Structure 1
Amino acid sequence: MRSTPSFVLIGTLGALLAGSALAQSQPDGVLRGSLGLGASLASGNTKASSLSLNADAVRETAGDKITAYGRALRTSAKNQATGQSETTGDQLRAGGRYDLNFTPTVFGFGGLDLERNKFANLKLRGLASVGAGYHLIKTPSQSLDVFGGLAYTADRYVAGTVVGDSATPRTSYSYASLLLGEEYAQALTPTTALKQRLVVLPNLKDRGEYRANLDLGLAVAMTQALSLNVGLGVAYNSDPGAGIKSTDSLFTTGVTMKF
């Protein structure tokens, strides 16, 4: 039997999801951002496609800082032999944070984050947070912040699931939590930058349960406007609901355009 040839086309313009390098921040009041778009297409025995969007923006002065981000990923696959097609990935994350410097080293913050992940049974998650942080290191080439506070999470699920302190399936679940985190950035060379962020959210309603998010990103500048990015995002939920895995991870590569 003659085999069916396969053809793969991959086009990428942008960093994909969490872990990609954010827009560079300088305390001059100028809005800076980065934008990326990624796509892939495969045909042959299996027809598959993916589309991703990544955007970051930051505006910083000597007294405050505003940051915003958006991430979207959608993938689908179709079996050419059976004609069956299905969505294999559907994720969306967006949010922003406002930081106010009380002193050169101490700051307060308030943030709002939204998330959707169909395959984690998450129809919509809203997270509002407030707290304070400390600049342990803040130089032009290196920074390290630690922060903590309180957060309130409101989850809505695609299908009812057993989660929290309920023995019966529920379609929504809201709770307060602590927020503990750190964020590190370093210019390894004049053209290479590393960023890392860890946030842990211990549940105050259902003690012993918690969520955690780890983002890693490495960016290598190709031109003044374009950078090659490699990213890893890991999300952990100790109580994701019945039949749902606790850990989601995503490895990404792409090219980011800055403005």
Structure 2
Amino acid sequence: MSRRPLFVTLTAVAALMAPPLSQAQVTLKPDGQWRYLLTAGANVSSGNNDARSLNLSGEAARQTDDDKWIWNARADQARNAGVSTTDRYVLRTQYDRNISPDWFGFGSGETLRDQLANIDARYSVASGVGRHLWREERGYFDVSAGLGYTYDRYINSTDIAGAMRDRYGRLELVLAEESSHKLTETTSLRQKFTLLPDLRDSGKYRAVLDTGLTVAMTPTLNLSAGLSYRYDSDPGTGLEKTDAMFVTGVSLRFD
């Protein structure tokens, strides 16, 4: 068995077994044109169970032979018996610029609000270099490393890094791997794992794993399913270190 099919198989198995954010696959073509993908998912129940959830996301991407620019936005809300169980909003962007056929530089930014995780606002920026380990028409696999800075503002003061704080900023190491695979003519898999060790407080770190599976029903309509997993070794008083979310939805592609 060749290395690439084996890697694709292992990646697919890991994506289905690991607890990873629904991340549908926007079309990437090196023609300099912006392309968009909108995804929506909802669930409502009443009677003995009173629950509802709403998940919205949008993605925009532009790629040439020399660079790639991607924007992502997400809104996730859920309530059960009148109690909020999810209230998270994320906006992120990343720009990659090829330095050589194998190497690229990147810059990224993200803002997040997660009420149940006590995060009123989180702002993150990062920059570094990466390498294209595999790139062809059916997908790619990249690794990257750099430095970033994250600043958190909390809804309620909490114990972070050994002190009560209402805000906290730190320099972080940014280590990431990302891949996209066209498994069949209608099915695409995408995943990204990022590890963020805290350089201000040794031994503390965050980790983020996002994966998504997209199945094309028509040239513009897709079914998507994915998992999101986030880990924070020091989330604050009374909070869980891990957050996982499974999301399914329908995506509309604008190519």
TM-score normalized with structure 1 length:
0.88
> What is the CA deviation profile of residues 3-58 of structure 1, one whole-angstrom value per residue up to 9, with x for unaligned ones?
xxxxxxxxxxxxxx923223111110011110022222211134322222110010
CA displacement at 1:77 relative to structure 2: 3.2
Aligned to 1:134: 131
Instruction: Give the secondary-structure state (helix, strand or coil) at the position aligned to 1:119.
Output: helix
Aligned to 1:23: 26
4+ aligned runs moved over 6 Å, structure 1: none
Aligned to 2:153: 156
Aligned to 1:88: 85
Aligned to 2:215: 220
Give the alignment partner of residue 50 of structure 2, picking from 43, 47, 52.
47
The structure with the larger Rg is 1
Structure 1 vs Structure 2: percent identity of aligned residues?
Answer: 40
CA displacement at 1:229 relative to structure 2: 1.1
CA displacement at 1:165 relative to structure 2: 3.8
The question of whether the paired residues in 2 share the 8 Å contact of 1:23 and 1:34 is answered with yes
CA displacement at 1:138 relative to structure 2: 0.3
The question of whether the paired residues in 2 share the 8 Å contact of 1:123 and 1:156 is answered with yes
CA distance in 1, matches of 2:189, 2:141: 12
Q: Which amino acid aligns with 2:73?
A: G
User: Which residues of 2 match residues 133-212 of structure 1 at below 5 A?
Assistant: 133-166=130-163, 169-212=164-207
Gaps of 5+ in 1: 1-16, 79-84
Aligned to 2:36: 33
Gaps of 5+ in 2: 1-19
Aligned to 1:98: 95
Matched, 1:61 2:90: no
Aligned to 2:239: 244
The question of whether the paired residues in 2 share the 8 Å contact of 1:142 and 1:185 is answered with yes
Aligned to 2:14: none
- Name whichever of 207-216 and 43-52 sits farther off: 43-52
The question of whether the paired residues in 2 share the 8 Å contact of 1:27 and 1:62 is answered with yes
Instruction: Give the secondary-structure state (helix, strand or coil) at the position aligned to 1:241.
Output: coil
Give the alignment partner of residue 229 of structure 1, picking from 224, 232, 238.
224
CA displacement at 1:116 relative to structure 2: 1.2
Corresponding pairs, count: 235
Two-structure CA RMSD over aligned residues (Å): 1.3
> What is the CA deviation profile of residues 105-125 of structure 1, one whole-angstrom value per residue up to 9, with x for unaligned ones?
111111110111111111111
Q: Which amino acid aligns with 1:43?
A: S
Instruction: Give the secondary-structure state (helix, strand or coil) at the position aligned to 1:23.
Output: coil
Which one has more relative contact order, counting CA pairs under 8 Å at least 6 apart? 2
